[in-house]
A and B are shown apart, each in its own frame.
Chain A
Amino acid sequence: GQQLNQSPQSMFIQEGEDVSMNCTSSSIFNTWLWYKQDPGEGPVLLIALYKAGELTSNGRLTAQFGITRKDSFLNISASIPSDVGIYFCAGQLGTGNQFYFGTGTSLTVIP
């Protein structure tokens, strides 16, 4: 299957700091999604991206669809304790195809 490399694997930051994480693939995707998973819960969709170069925000979160279509980035500004969780990227090769998930970035926010 497709390999999505997500980095960093984990992050420990101070409350109020900005966070950046990214996801790269060897294949070209036509859709990128970013999810957040809290402990004991299912992933929750944060942002969906459909076009190369697209920049989309959801509150303090901003995600970008890379120009090469092989990567995507997620930024969180002014982090707060409830941002703690695991963030997953997911990519889709084509409409109707399955999604491939990254291995996740674990975020810890220190108050």
Chain B
Amino acid sequence: DSGVTQTPKHLITATGQRVTLRCSPRSGDLSVYWYQQSLDQGLQFLIQYYNGEERAKGNILERFSAQQFPDLHSELNLSSLELGDSALYFCASSVLTSDNEQFFGPGTRLTVL
């Protein structure tokens, strides 16, 4: 158990819908990272927040957005969902923004029908 929690574990929805994925980092970690893992793409970095502020952006679509709240939990919002958005979404956390060691949560499996 990495100490990072993610909810829900599974999510099934239809195209065009909007969903919110939630992540609670390890106690004391200030940085949260979001990744997308699909069969043909591997792990792709989406976005990073540090202490409530966006720190880095990767391959995140405009239909996706995230935020980190004062209690340091983070949410990833996915809207206008398409079939290709079906994937595992992982959250990871680390102590600092420059910390090299990230700890991953168990992931949320999103299925878009």
Q: Is A73 an interface residue (CB 8 A)?
A: no
Give the interface size class of chain B.
Answer: 20 to 34
Closest beta carbon of chain A to B43's beta carbon, Å: 4
Cβ–Cβ < 8 Å partners of B49 in chain A:
none
The answer to whether the Cβ of B52 comes within 8 Å of any Cβ in the partner chain is: no
The answer to whether the Cβ of B25 comes within 8 Å of any Cβ in the partner chain is: no
A-B residue pair count with CB separations less than 8 angstroms: 56
**Counting CB contacts under 8 A, is B103 at the interface?**
yes
| Binary B-proximity of A79-111 (CB < 8 A = 1, otherwise 0) | 000000000101010011111111110000000
A11 surroundings in chain B (CB, below 8 A): none
Pairwise interchain contact A102-B42, C-beta atoms closer than 8 A: yes
Residue of A nearest to B31 (CB): A96
Instruction: Provide the bound-state CA to CA distance between A90 and B42, in Å.
Output: 11
Binding site for A on B (CB under 8 A): 2, 4, 35, 42-45, 48, 56, 58-59, 90, 92, 97-98, 100-107
